[in-house]
Structure 1
Amino acid sequence: MMTAHSTHRSVVSVRLHHTHRRITPGPSRLGPHPVARASSSDGDVSDATRAMLEDQETRIEEEIKRVRNDAAARVRDVTSADLSANPAYAPATDIGGETSAMRTRLAASITQLQRGLVERDTETRLMLLASLAREHVLFLGPPGTAKSELGRRLCRVVGGNYFERLLTRFSVPEELFGPLSMKGLENDKYVRSTGGFLPEANVAFVDEVFKANSAILNALLTILNERLFDNGGGRIAVPLVSLVGASNELPESEELDALYDRFLVRRNVAPVTRDGLVALLSQESTLLDDPASDEPMLTVEETAEVRARALSAVKVPESVLSNLVELREYLAERCEPPVYVSDRRMLKAVNLLKVSAYTCGRAEVSSFDCLLLEHVLWTVPEDAEKVRDWLLRNLTMDEGLDQVQYLLAGCFARACRIGADYVDGGGGGSTIDASTVKADAKALVELLSTKYNATATALDDGFPGITGHLWLGEDTAEGAISALTPLLERNKKKIKTLLDEAAVLEAAAEGATEPHILAELLPQQWANFIRSGPMDEVKPLGTVASP
């Protein structure tokens, strides 16, 4: 593409009513501001010519003042409206009245799960969310960090049949799946009596889950993924809602990789901090000793219903899908060692985000729901920090702003061409429809105002999309807000600059504003245009390099 370049400055000659003007456009290397001023030739000018030039100066100043006033009023109007419709920044809104009561019960369930526990806010929320998504949870950590207690408490909230087992390397299938049926053997059938064992459990806790040997592994994998159990010559459906697994260490053999991948939610459980230990030692009990607390807050049927409704009612916006794809590529290609995320895990992660959005009262997954992926997309605990850092960096990156800048530059170029054609044609004759420029500028103003208001709402209201999030613990929320605030402040300034420019262009498009006036109104756009604009667009304006 040929472009018109200027060295220290450029001089543009624009015919105004058959009188030539000289414009010094552009900031930085091109000068501080574009200036359009009448200049006399080397000789004297007549009084009539001088009066005409002064009239033109007055008209130019009035036009600039009008455009700036109209643009300022337009910006005030659109930024004072309540347009915080972006679900990433807006507080939870009820979906047709169907989630408000459920949200209240879920909040009460979280409180019940946390009673008597210290520094287990995130663990309890993740465990309950996973059960609603009908996924499984893995807690990694040293002994004595309440992993077993967390698993037991889930059954007290969800209800149904509960199964618990501690595996060793010598565990046999009968410990998980039940003994062989004597009556079955009498009839030459190899079937198990599954009553009271994993195949008939709704909630299960398996400690030291990676001690599972090959005799147990295949059947366990089928139960976790397909919710089916091979019993004798047929398969039976397993009513399992969620299995909570615990381990002191990561799996050591590749044989266990498939089992490891079945746990969608993973959390490294650390011992309590110094302050947490003081709180732990000072309380009377860590048990749910209130008899009423043993009454389930949810039913097994309700968990299935929540998941089904979430998957059908909640949509995932293109921006979130794009972030998920880029995050997976980042983990696989730019992290050392690479972090592998299976296709199955990505699909299940999206379903988890849908359940998160639905139970928070939204019909669309937000960027802040994606913060939960810190507990989903890692292979070793150290990877969780990589996921979190990437998410926080990219939550505030609005790639749409680059496209907006491109569109705004195109509108500016067309506006300049219309103004030049108006002057050359003596008041008309442009091949470009001015109404399209105004319509495009108006659309940009509306788009940018929505972005600006959403960002301002997040900053002014303290990130309601995070603080009001049902599944983000207090520590997670505080850390995210601390990291996002300076990034969003910079984004807000960038959006405001583009919004001001789009509003000026919309106001200028009311008439065929001459290029030199546009240059003074939008100096940065003008400078960019004459530096890198196509030659066939810049040349008709009369741009020539200064000697």
Structure 2
Amino acid sequence: MASRVVTRGRVVRVVAKGAGRRARRGVAVGAKRADQEYQTSQGVLQRIAQVKAEAEALASERRESGDEDACYVVDGCFLGEEEEKLVNGVRAASDVLCHGLLEREVEVKLLLLAALTGEHLLLLGPPGTAKSELARRLSKVCHGAYFERLLTRFSVPEELFGPLSMKGLEEDRYQRQIEGYLPTAQVAFVDEIFKANSAILNALLTLLNERLFDNGAERIEVPLLCMVGASNELPESEELDALYDRFLIRRTVSQVSSQGLRDLAQLASSGSTTRQFHTDEEPLSLDDFLRCRDKAIEAVSVPGRVVDLLVGLREYLQDKCEPPVYVSDRRFTKCVTFLQVAAFANGAREVNVYDCLLLQFVLGQRAEDGDKVLDYVLENISSDPGILQNELTLLGVFGRACRVLQSKSGDTSELLEECEGLIASLRDQYESFANDLENGFPLLRGSLWYSPQQVASAGQVLSPPMKENLKKLQALLEEALIVKLSLESQCDAEVLEKLLPKRLKQYEKGVSQM
């Protein structure tokens, strides 16, 4: 028993000694592992700090030197001789047309743009707001034949298209004497345009859109460059919708503001408001107006960003606005040409998003629709959908980089190339936004088509969200540089994951939902 006890005791003691040895060994191993983990953790933290510092330095270095590499074509730079002549001619014509008129700068620019595009302008507003005066001035600037008429409910086709030819009737031909009437005019002004009855309407629609007139059995081409229509109110009858749609550009004209009444009184006292307008200058020839549209279509490209904006704008107006704003296919396609002409006459080779601010005068059925268009375009410019696209690209690159670094195998050259492209895109976006903010929106300010008031108003709306987007772009640029540096140094995936925890959560969430 005692020996057993002893034996057992020895056994017990042996076991205890063995356990003690194993325990001591375990403590030593655990301490070693803890020390290794501590060293690893310290290494990871050091590497995280190093990569982060390098990324911040690279991003800041580029941000400070970015303007040296950026190149912006503003205010007619890099133009050929013919293009420069057109830009200067439009500026001079605008000044000539504005002379002696108060608060009509926007209307003058729209009238010039309508004539250069070969489209028609509708002016809505009360009598006595210089609507007919603008049309008369345009005819003298472009040296084109002019026709003017006021319509009433009792107007007959003869008033617009000319009387029937008595000689033609004698010869059994139904033909009009069109000389001096609308079919022979280059510039026309028709007041109270929506009082056109059905007898006038059918001929007017074809003449405005196709530039054709049926004179008896003969269909002839008419030289009409631009018609200015005027009305005190929008059409109420559905049969006038087609006529309303023929006017691509629409503008509501108001009286001179209270602030401008003193200047108006001074103009009246000097006789400037009643003096006959004349000009000895020829800033633009009739040929310049006639050829501008075709030249613009040939020379000016429409980038994908602008196309996306146009498509999104039409969908927004028709599907998300209440009440919906109908945009016909004809009007939508004409918008593209309209923007090309605006860019071409501004000396540009490409339509930019700032040109799209002009769409407030093109898309919309009612006066208030213009504000909806303007708000949408300004929001699109300030947010730039490309930011979201780059953020999604960054998330994809991050996920693939984590897998490559974890496996410690695989070629990183393709990923690095994608990182470089992403970084370049983010730099371009950042520099574009920064240039706009620092230089007061040069593409907008240098445009022929916007008044200082319009530029200032747009700048106030654009500045706050653009500043926020600059911060966002800066953060995305640093993140993209972190991914690139991690791939170049072949660091542990843990380093990259701890550097970008937000992207890790987004990536894991996306994987779990697949």
Give your verdict on TM over 0.5.
yes
2:55 to 66, 71, 78: 71
Query: Which residue is equivalent to 1:466?
Result: 444
Structure 1: distance between partners of 2:510 and 2:363? 44
After superposition, the Cα gap between the structure-2 partners of 1:414 and 1:160, relative to the gap in structure 1 and judged at 3 Å, is same
In the TM superposition, what are the counterparts of 1:80-119 in structure 2 within 5 Å? 80-82=65-67, 84=70, 92-119=76-103
Structure 1: distance between partners of 2:274 and 2:283? 14
Judge which range, 412-421 or 494-503, deviates more: 412-421
Structure 1: distance between partners of 2:475 and 2:75? 27
Q: Find the residue that maps to 1:267 and give its secondary structure.
A: strand
Query: Which residue is equivalent to 1:436?
Result: 414
1:233 aligns with 2:217: yes
Q: Find the residue that maps to 1:142 and give its secondary structure.
A: coil
Structure 2: distance between partners of 1:223 and 1:381? 26
Query: Which residue is equivalent to 2:354?
Result: 368
Q: CA deviation at 1:42?
A: 8.8
Q: CA deviation at 1:294?
A: 4.7
Q: Deviations over 1:24-78 (max 9, x none)?
A: xxxxxxxxxxxxxxxxx99356997787667656654553354234423432443
1:356 aligns with 2:334: no
1:382 to 368, 379, 396: 368
Q: CA deviation at 1:173?
A: 1.3
Query: Which residue is equivalent to 2:496?
Result: 518
In the TM superposition, what are the counterparts of 1:7-406 in structure 2 within 5 Å? 43-44=27-28, 56=40, 59-60=43-44, 63-79=47-63, 80-82=65-67, 84=70, 92-283=76-267, 284-287=270-273, 293-406=279-392
Query: Which residue is equivalent to 1:23?
Result: none
Q: Is the 8 A contact 2:102 2:256 kept in 1?
A: yes
Q: In structure 2, what residue type is equivalent to 1:465?
A: L
Pairwise CA RMSD: 2.5
Judge which range, 56-65 or 403-412, deviates more: 56-65
Judge which range, 74-83 or 133-142, deviates more: 74-83
Structure 2: distance between partners of 1:207 and 1:533? 62
Query: Which residue is equivalent to 1:475?
Result: 453
Gap runs ≥5 in structure 2: 1-24
After superposition, the Cα gap between the structure-2 partners of 1:212 and 1:78, relative to the gap in structure 1 and judged at 3 Å, is same
Q: CA deviation at 1:523?
A: 3.0
Query: Which residue is equivalent to 2:3?
Result: none
Judge which range, 282-291 or 459-468, deviates more: 282-291
Q: Find the residue that maps to 1:99 and give its secondary structure.
A: helix
Aligned residue-pair number: 486
Q: CA deviation at 1:474?
A: 2.5
Q: Deviations over 1:102-148 (max 9, x none)?
A: 11111111111111111111111001000000000000001111111
Q: Find the residue that maps to 2:190 and give its secondary structure.
A: strand
After superposition, the Cα gap between the structure-2 partners of 1:47 and 1:256, relative to the gap in structure 1 and judged at 3 Å, is closer
Structure 1: distance between partners of 2:239 and 2:280? 38
After superposition, the Cα gap between the structure-2 partners of 1:326 and 1:286, relative to the gap in structure 1 and judged at 3 Å, is farther
Q: Find the residue that maps to 2:236 and give its secondary structure.
A: coil
Q: Is the 8 A contact 1:147 1:246 kept in 2?
A: yes
1:534 aligns with 2:497: no
Q: Find the residue that maps to 2:437 and give its secondary structure.
A: helix
Q: CA deviation at 1:336?
A: 2.0
Q: Deviations over 1:318-373 (max 9, x none)?
A: 22112212211221222222211111111111111110111111111111111111
Q: Is the 8 A contact 2:165 2:177 kept in 1?
A: yes
Q: Is the 8 A contact 1:415 1:513 kept in 2?
A: no
Structure 2: distance between partners of 1:191 and 1:484? 57
Q: Deviations over 1:273-323 (max 9, x none)?
A: 110112211222445958862544322211122111101111111221122
Q: In structure 1, what residue type is equivalent to 2:165?
A: S
Q: Deviations over 1:145-186 (max 9, x none)?
A: 111111111112121111111111121112111122233223
Gap runs ≥5 in structure 1: 1-40, 423-429, 538-547
Q: Deviations over 1:372-422 (max 9, x none)?
A: 111111111122222222222222222222222222112212222222222
Q: In structure 1, what residue type is equivalent to 2:407?
A: D
Q: In structure 1, what residue type is equivalent to 2:422?
A: L
Structure 2: distance between partners of 1:309 and 1:461? 31
Q: Is the 8 A contact 2:327 2:363 kept in 1?
A: yes
Structure 1: distance between partners of 2:42 and 2:236? 82
Query: Which residue is equivalent to 1:29?
Result: none
After superposition, the Cα gap between the structure-2 partners of 1:86 and 1:44, relative to the gap in structure 1 and judged at 3 Å, is farther
1:505 aligns with 2:505: no
Q: Deviations over 1:163-219 (max 9, x none)?
A: 111111121112111122233223222211211111111111111111111111111
Q: Find the residue that maps to 1:509 and give its secondary structure.
A: helix
**Percent of aligned pairs with the same residue?**
46
Q: Find the residue that maps to 1:260 and give its secondary structure.
A: helix
Higher helix share: 2
After superposition, the Cα gap between the structure-2 partners of 1:287 and 1:154, relative to the gap in structure 1 and judged at 3 Å, is farther
Q: CA deviation at 1:528?
A: 3.0
